[in-house]
Amino acid sequence: MSQVRVLILRAPGTNCDMETVFAFEQAGAMATRVHINQLVRGDECLSDYQILVVPGGFTYGDDISAGRVLANEVRMGLGEDVPRFIEEGGLVLGICNGFQVLVKAGILSVNSGSIPLTLTDNDSGRFECRWVHLAANSASPCVFTKGIDRMSLPVAHAEGKVVFDGAVPEANIALRYADEQGNCGAGYPYNPNGSMADIAGLCDDTGRVFALMPHPERFVRGTQHPQWTRRSIGEHGDGLRIFQNAVRWAEAL
Amino acid sequence: MHRVEVRLKNHLPDARGAGLVKDIRDLGIETVSDVRVIDIYWLDAELSSDKLDLICRGLLADPVIQDYRSDSAIPADADSSSNRRVVEVTYNPGVMDPVEGTVMKAVRDLGIDNVRAVKTAKRYLIEGDLDNGQLDSICGKLLVNPIVEHIVGPDTIPFSEHPQYHFRLNHYNIIDTDGSGLAEVRRDFSFSEPELKAIIDYFREQGRNPTDVELETLFQTWSEHCVHKTFKGKVSFSGAGIDNLLESSLAKIGQVVQWEGLWVKIDNLLKNTIAKATAELNKPWCLSVFMDNAGVIEFDEKWALCFKVETHNHPSAVEPYGGAATGIGGVVRDPLGTGLGSKPILNTDVFCFAPPDLPHEKLPKGVLHPRRIFKGVRAGVADYGNRLGIPTLNGAVLFDERYLANPLVYCGTLGLMPSELSRRGQQQAGDLVVVVGGRTGRDGIHGVTFASEQLTEESSTLSFTSVQIGNPIVEKKVIDVLLQARDKGLYRRITDCGGGGLSSAVGEMAADTGVRVDLEKVPLKYAGLTYSEIWVSESQERMLIAVPPDCIDGIMRLFDSENVEAAVIGEFTDDHRLRLFYHGELVGDLSMEFLHEGIPQMNLEAVWQPSQHTEPDFASPDDLGRDLMKVLATWNVCSKEWVIRQYDHEVQGGSVLKPLVGKDCDGPGDAAIIRPVLDSDRSVIVSNGINPKYGEIDPYWMAASAIDEALRQIIAVGGDLDRVALLDNFCWGDTRRPEMLGALVRATQACHDMALVYGTPFISGKDSLNNEFEYEGNVITIPHTLLISAIGVMADANRAVSMDLKQVGDLIYMVGETWNELGGSAYLATHDLVGNSVPKVDAPRSKVLMDNLSTATVKGLVRACHDCSDGGLGVAVAEMAFAGGLGANVKLEQVPLGESIDRDDFVLFSESNSRFVVEVAPENREEFENTMGDTAWAVIGEVTGSGVLEVYGLDDRKIVNESLTDLKEAWQSPIRW
């Protein structure tokens, strides 16, 4: 079986690409950083990979709104490449800014796109960096969160509030903000941005396109946890599971 | 031209507006119930309604949450209402909002090519009953900074033609005996008289008059900011302590002469103090010190660390956001421009402001309120640093009224590079001069001279060209692409364009070869710049590299592949001259020797006499709980979580010990630890020490204390002194005054002495002198402020220790001696006193103590450790207790004393150096005590689960009995904005 290939998409302002490569390497994949221009100009081909990742950062400075300009570029520059990639079974992961890009490019949609959905300014009106507790939804088809019950991960964003019209089906809500016991509805700062329905991560109807505001790549080793000096955390961080799930799924392709 | 307005749908809360409502309330205006912010875009184009709609719908507005309208769809009386004020604010001409460029790019991505320019504005709808005075106040204090912004009406046409520049070569007539041009030189440049004389002599020898660009070049290159002429001057020092030469190190750093009393002559202060200690220590792991843009030390066999801290004080005083943002942008380019380039991996920021609760009516004209400066600086540093993807893991915020008009903004960056690339490169004749990154505009012209001069009431109007907004994404692109070019070996040398712009960068790089530059080849933001403006502009996000001719195609292709602009602007030569051309005309021609060696050395006088301050005459209070709360709530001691949370301290995934630690991740960590190579456990500890309060008593002990503090923090988190490097950053008043320079000599002397004993070399440094403000005939001088930044290499991150108490029943140790050292303390400050008993450092003993404590940590005997600094033992143990969420009992009678102290408050709040509070498990008691040996230590209490901090006084009476909730609230509430 050949090694799973992961494309870590880079654009001006991407800044979590290196640690995302590291996380996928820890999970056994081969991850390559590819600039958006390389895809647009045809120097690299999406179909050579099994997993596409839009990592965290401030692409184009979050100008206009976070993720908007890269989303536009992906939509206009890559055209049908991404939908075809998903159609053919590829996995797509968006982290933080990647979540914003995937939603605004229409790549991550809910209920066949019938629910208008976006991400906007945190209720606090501020960029905030803090660790949050997350509860995964076992009823979700999400490939990435399979077998995960609860996690701790850091968030670091200014525009992470998920808002939508209508109702997002339960199955699409792969990850929710929660309190220490895993209960949702705990309010700020447990829900750090005021996201509707405590949504921290969403998947599309297939479960193969997943995006989240927290940063799993920042917690793949135990010593990345803020309390590893207080209590035993273990060698691996909670975030590693997300990458392992993706790689295992792709290996089985 | 088209105008587009994008607004949040009416039913959605406006987070930006809500922040403004809060700020308006802080101004004492209670009647504003709501603020909504509308984004305005002007597009300079003739677009069909379809295309305009595509831009609005597909790009500028998010249909889920926003509405938009454009052009004629905007009613003439838009947004007017009886109870509403409308203010529209845009950037001044020449100030570039990065969003404008992004919109241009995104519009092109949509397949629309005919938009010539974009301009942005913000429209504020302010709901509530306001009179005109209140509205002016809101505009002036919150919405508009005239340095960069102005208010516009709805009919404004924001696009203006930039006038073309018509070339004319300008000379100053200074060589004729009548010297008719001298007055003009004195008007345009503030050269000292000896400097002016050297210039006249040089040009007389050349037999011609200088051009404007030649004088500009000399002015920039010889500025304090670029050449540190005070630190390199000849200093004659006299004053208190000098008759005690045998005991002090003065005889080692200068030559003793007798002339109307004893004097010490120091020829080059930097070389004889700070750099001298480094030379004497001669550590093999110091790879590059005091020669490049940053200092470099070895990290492991493969990697090197590169560290630099800069200040960006004056620009931050007049435009906090842009000034601070470009401060961080500037310091990041230092490690990038060191050796052959390092990757920025950590930022550290230290700010000094006036207290945020200063009444508005006490504000001098032309000075921004400290709260606004604080908020603006924080936002500028965070927006720029976060966008670059560099974690901000360390810092401090200090307050003193004398920082009112001269806030200090220290920004530091740590870089990582392959060891073999850590040496400064060397270009060859024929190599091409390439400028990479941002375009050149009229930004920051005369920024370095602005930085070196005194601020006055008029500074805010005179300095408008000195401030720019900064574009972090351009810088990020430059970093990304230059590191690739470095690894491919496509350039031979690199430096940053910072203070003095191309003038300094090219001039310095070519010092040992020579260069010719064609100024018209520099890419410009807009037309109209003179050749001289191009040369000295301080536009941000620019780097300079020397590229061998056979690499030029490859490197330009690489730049192009990631949309980074670059241009060949000249060629290095071997004629040891700086020759500047504009469209083929020679406009400047200076010998490198004169440019770099021609500046006359300054002769300076320095004196130092200690001043006497009032000693406390109040009795030690019976209940010190209230005093402890008061100290915890002081601006200097209180929690800075509000700032820290708005920095990304996790990006790059390397953080091992974060700035906020403990049970609820909100306790004040001592030093930060990062793991720069993700699959290794080798780490870097970053800390800082700063205490300007001590400088009022004695700058020597202030500097010694700052060094001790920075080192204590490294020890507290589990590091050791084996490989620790220091940076010095002096912010001072006008050192042309002998007593001001005397204080500087005292501080540098301490740097020399301490570095030698601790074995911790200085690897780089910086100074910002002249931090004074003239106001109604009075001069406000900042306190002498020395920031010591330290990095330590830690062999194994797994042995890191945090400061929060962890286990009920553990022993609490006090390590180090407590002396009657309340001078300059946080406690005396709550009584508006300074005192005289400044904390001293017994470095030889402290070194042994720190070494022993490191050994104990490596052995795993230390469960928690916190250094005692501001607020002494009282604050340290309170912070440990509430960070751990447990409780503690402490007995002052057990505290090891260096001398007899009979007051509880003095023991509790003494700020003696070299002290730690340590938590040790009972089963490790014997081994810990054996390891600490005959250094000063004692068990002073234990960890409880009571949720209370109990302190028993010297007579065993309970003097503090406060719940952790109350203590934490006192500490957190001041800056909960």
CB atoms within 10 A of CB A196: 13
- Asked if B829 and B746 touch (Cβ cutoff 8 Å), the reply is no
Contact B646 A127 (CB under 8 A): yes
Q: Does the pLDDT of residue B466 top 60, yes or no? A: no
Helix/strand/coil for B588: strand
B801 Cα to chain A: minimum distance (Å): 6
Residues in chain A where the model's pLDDT stays below 50: none
The 10s digit of each residue's pLDDT in B194-252 is 999 999 999 999 999 999 999 999 999 999 888 899 999 999 999 877 767 656 788 88
Q: Bridge-partner residues for B683, per DSSP?
A: B794
Best to test chain B binding among A37, A129, A155, A235 (most B CBs inside 10 Å): A129
Cα atoms in the 13 Å half-sphere on the side-chain side of B907:
26
* More confident call, B609 vs B303: B303
Q: How far apart (Å, rounded) are the C-alpha atoms in residues A167 and B54?
A: 28
Q: Bridge-partner residues for B127, per DSSP?
A: B34, B84
Question: What average pLDDT does the segment B12-38 reach?
Answer: 92
Contact A116 B802 (CB under 8 A): no
Tell me which chain B residue has its CA closest to the CA of residue A58: B387
Residue B459 burial (10 A CB sphere; 0-12, 13-18, 19+): buried
Radius of gyration, alpha carbons of chain B: 29
Candidates B747, B741, B781, B743; CA nearest to B765 is B747
* CATH fourth-level superfamily of A5-251: Class I glutamine amidotransferase (GATase) domain (3.40.50.880)
Of A14, A58, A69, the CB nearest to B105: A69
- Asked if B953 and B936 touch (Cβ cutoff 8 Å), the reply is no
Contact A68 B662 (CB under 8 A): no
Mean model confidence pLDDT for chain B: 93
The pLDDT score that the predictor gives to residue B461 is 45
Q: How far apart (Å, rounded) are the C-alpha atoms in residues B560 and B290?
A: 34
Contacts of residue B597, defined as CB under 8 A and 6 or more positions apart, other chains included, come to none
The confidence band for B258, taking pLDDT boundaries of 50, 70 and 90, is confident
Q: Which position has the token pair 């670091």?
A: A156
Best to test chain B binding among A40, A114, A229, A232 (most B CBs inside 10 Å): A229
Q: Bridge-partner residues for B311, per DSSP?
A: B410
Of A13, A64, A230, the CB nearest to B387: A13
The confidence band for B443, taking pLDDT boundaries of 50, 70 and 90, is confident
Q: Does the pLDDT of residue B453 top 90, yes or no? A: no
From the list B225, B314, B369, B446, the catalytic residue is: B225
Q: Does the pLDDT of residue B449 top 60, yes or no? A: no
CB atoms within 10 A of CB B170: 15
Question: What average pLDDT does the segment B435-460 reach?
Answer: 71
- Residues of chain B in contact with residue A72, where contact means CB-CB under 8 angstroms, are 58-59, 106, 109-110
3-state SS track over B79-147? CCCCCEEEEEEEECCCCCCHHHHHHHHHHHHCCCCCCCEEEEEEEEEEEECCCHHHHHHHHHHHHCCCC
Q: How far apart (Å, rounded) are the C-alpha atoms in residues B651 and B392?
A: 9
Contacts of residue B763, defined as CB under 8 A and 6 or more positions apart, other chains included, come to B278, B286, B288, B289, B290, B295, B296, B297, B307, B725, B726, B727
Provide the percentage of residues in chain B whose pLDDT is more than 70: 97
Best to test chain B binding among A119, A230, A236 (most B CBs inside 10 Å): A230
- Residues of chain B in contact with residue A14, where contact means CB-CB under 8 angstroms, are 389
The confidence band for B156, taking pLDDT boundaries of 50, 70 and 90, is confident
The pLDDT score that the predictor gives to residue B454 is 64
- Find the length of chain B: 977
- Residues of chain B in contact with residue A60, where contact means CB-CB under 8 angstroms, are 102, 105-106, 473
The pLDDT score that the predictor gives to residue B463 is 42
Helices (H) and strands (E) in chain A, counts: 6, 11
Tell me which chain A residue has its CA closest to the CA of residue B56: A64
DSSP B517-560: EEGGGS-BSSS---HHHHHH---SSEEEEEE-GGGHHHHHHHHH
From the list B11, B162, B166, B312, the catalytic residue is: B312
Domain ranges of chain A: 5-251
Distances (CA, A) of B95 to B92, B100, B148: 6, 11, 6
Q: Which position has the token pair 């004692």?
A: B938
Q: How far apart (Å, rounded) are the C-alpha atoms in residues A36 and A73?
A: 9
B225 catalytically annotated: yes
Question: What average pLDDT does the segment B119-137 reach?
Answer: 94
Contacts of residue B948, defined as CB under 8 A and 6 or more positions apart, other chains included, come to B887, B961, B962, B963, B964
Sheet order of strands, B542-547 included: B493-496, B542-547, B432-437, B566-572, B515-518, B577-582, B585-591
Candidates A173, A156, A162; CA nearest to A218 is A156
Q: Does B110 touch chain A (CB under 8 A)?
A: yes
Sheet order of strands, B262-267 included: B255-258, B262-267, B234-239, B603-608
Of A12, A35, A63, the CB nearest to B476: A12
Alpha helices (runs of H) in A206-251, residue ranges in sequence order: 240-251
Q: What is the DSSP letter of B165?
A: P
Q: What is the DSSP letter of B818?
A: B
B11 catalytically annotated: no
Q: Does the pLDDT of residue B147 top 90, yes or no? A: no
DSSP A23-72: HHHHTT-EEEEEEHHHHHTTSS-GGG-SEEEE--B-GGGG-SSTTHHHHH
Q: How far apart (Å, rounded) are the C-alpha atoms in residues B563 and B189?
A: 39
* More confident call, B647 vs B178: B647
Helix/strand/coil for B869: coil
From the list A96, A142, A184, A203, the catalytic residue is: A96
The amino acid that residue B763 corresponds to is I
Q: How far apart (Å, rounded) are the C-alpha atoms in residues B201 and B215?
A: 13
The pLDDT score that the predictor gives to residue B457 is 55
Q: Does the pLDDT of residue B627 top 60, yes or no? A: yes
Sign of CA dihedral B530, B533, B535, B539: negative
B548: preceding bond cis by omega (within 30 degrees): no
Contact B102 A129 (CB under 8 A): no
* More confident call, B21 vs B365: B21
User: Residues of A numbered 111-170 whose beta carbons fall under 8 angstroms of chain B's beta carbons: which are they?
Assistant: 116-118, 120-131, 154, 156, 163-165
A29 Cα to chain B: minimum distance (Å): 15
Q: Would you tell me the crossing angle of helices B370-388 and B472-487 to the nearest 10 degrees?
A: 40
Q: Does the pLDDT of residue B975 top 90, yes or no? A: yes
The 10s digit of each residue's pLDDT in A22-77 is 999 999 999 999 999 999 999 999 999 999 999 999 999 999 999 999 999 999 99
A96 catalytically annotated: yes
The 10s digit of each residue's pLDDT in B473-523 is 999 999 999 999 999 999 999 999 988 899 999 999 999 999 999 999 999
Q: Does the pLDDT of residue B460 top 70, yes or no? A: no
Question: CA A13 from chain center: how many Å?
Answer: 17
User: Residues of A numbered 223-252 whose beta carbons fall under 8 angstroms of chain B's beta carbons: which are they?
Assistant: 223-224, 226-227, 229-230
Can you list the domains of chain B with their CATH numbers?
2-151 (3.30.1280.10), 234-267 (no CATH)
Q: Does the pLDDT of residue B830 top 50, yes or no? A: yes
